[in-house]
Structure 1
Amino acid sequence: MADHSYRGRFAPSPTGPLHFGSLVTALASYVEAKCHQGQWLVRIEDLDPLRESPQATEQILHSLTCHGLIPDEPVRFQSRRHDAYQNAITTLLDKGLAYRCACSRKQLQQHQGRHPERCRDGKSQPGDRPFAVRFALGDEVSHWHDELLGEQIQKVTAELDDPVILRKEGFYAYQLAVVVDDIDQGITDVVRGSDLLEMTAQQQQIYRALGATPPRWLHIPVILNARGQKLSKQNHAPALDDRQPASNLVRALEALGQQPPTGLRHATVQGILDWSVEHWRRQAIPLTSR
């Protein structure tokens, strides 16, 4: 059934070129959007200059173009959105839904995740010390429906699970930026790897704290390397060979359980994408990583 209000996105971090695991996620999010006659956006999550490669953004966008994955709106760069993130932090601090925290990791570990300086209570101020800003979670057993995995139950505990939304180094954190941009861009559906599943309940609370309804989520299994590790730049996943996009797309469809016909490897990139949209079966996506 067509849903013209559907807005999805693919949001890679530019820590290296696109690899096969990222292509699988990009393709799944693209086809889901097109199946609903919706829009598909690309957002570059370039908020951590210490981890980013100067060439990675250009490489990622080139790979997406080679594979026919063209966004319906101009690419968004989070590095240009600092004012929006700071405004959200100010709002949360003013509402008492965030707090400044100068505790070190060692201190938190020694106190089983509790803040020895009672940061949440505002009893201690960082002064001249470096501090992070954390979102103040409420105790909650969150019930929500994943579009692939079905009913989910996640428990979050106030203080122990409070996520950082501004790091001590001054960088805005993923947990905040992803929510602020999804709200601003009107994202209704998020297709992402199952390695991010455990963050969902926390993000739901941040959405609500900023006055927004959380999107629908669909978590697909991550692709593993020969050692059983998540295929990632950190684990030295090889870059996609942009000279063979048709073969890459067919392999991605196979990883997503779509059983493309053998002859599809000889089709054009657009022909493969058209086949993908026409024959997409969400229920065929594997439930576990492989």
Structure 2
Amino acid sequence: MADETDVPSIAVLGSINMDLVTTTERRPAPGETVLGTGFAMVPGGKGSNQAIAARRAGGAVRFLGAVGDDVFAAELRRALTDAAVDVERLRTVDGPSGVAAIVVDGGGENSIIVVGGANARMTELADADLAVLADADILLCQLEIPIDTVVAAARHARANGTTVLLNPSPARDLPAELWANVDVAVVNSGEAEQLGAALDPVPHVVVTRGADGATYRGPDGAEFTQPSPRVDVVDTTGAGDTFTGALAAAWHRGPAYALAWAGTAGALATTKLGASTSIPTEHEIRAALPAK
């Protein structure tokens, strides 16, 4: 396992989508049409975003996921390879890739509709996938692929001494077996409230609170709050994924350092438009890291 001087090995099992991002002064009410101010297609998906964030934040990352055989597939794959993420276990399946329709208003807040596409086809883990999980220092998962696959991955990772970090988003009721194999849970304040006591068995729980920073609860009763750096917010899309990926990359240095590192990365991600395009580099995070 990694120590402070090592580059942690991180396996990310999750979704990859093409984000269709529309900007507008305000988001429409039900049945209302408003004029947009811009449009962009940006590679995203919680799994892909977190993989890129973990790589840029200093981890060695291997991605396990699926794209379709449509026009988006090559660009989605290229987004990972351009970020130096290993995509040997990124499979191609019949049908469309995942897509997310995102509306960002003038205040930087967003609304998102996700269509799973190829991500829903991640129903089995091959022997080569299991070998990647067993070899990693950290397995990072979310909930935009089939739950049974996440459960199987967490079980295998834990059995092989790999730390399991789960971002249980979108929040939902989850099997007890999954919670039993999670070492670290990263949730936002809304997800924490929705999941409630389900988080109690998890040894390490990190709750992100936007501009108010993040809180940590550890297995020994330790608790602390990490403030967030103040920045000029342009777009919050992908900030949570950036936080989570950066947390995974710095987890081997302990919760206090990891939350400061991740909080800085997440704040920097809100200063640019888009998800994967807004993720800061290790150099940018270190330069903005609050002084101890």
Q: Answer yes or no: same fold by TM over 0.5.
A: no
Where on the TM-score scale, by shorter chain, does this alignment land: which range? 0.3 to 0.5
> Quick check: which one's strand share is greater?
2
* TM superposition score normalised by structure 2: 0.34
The structure having more radius of gyration, on CA atoms, is 1
* TM superposition score normalised by structure 1: 0.34
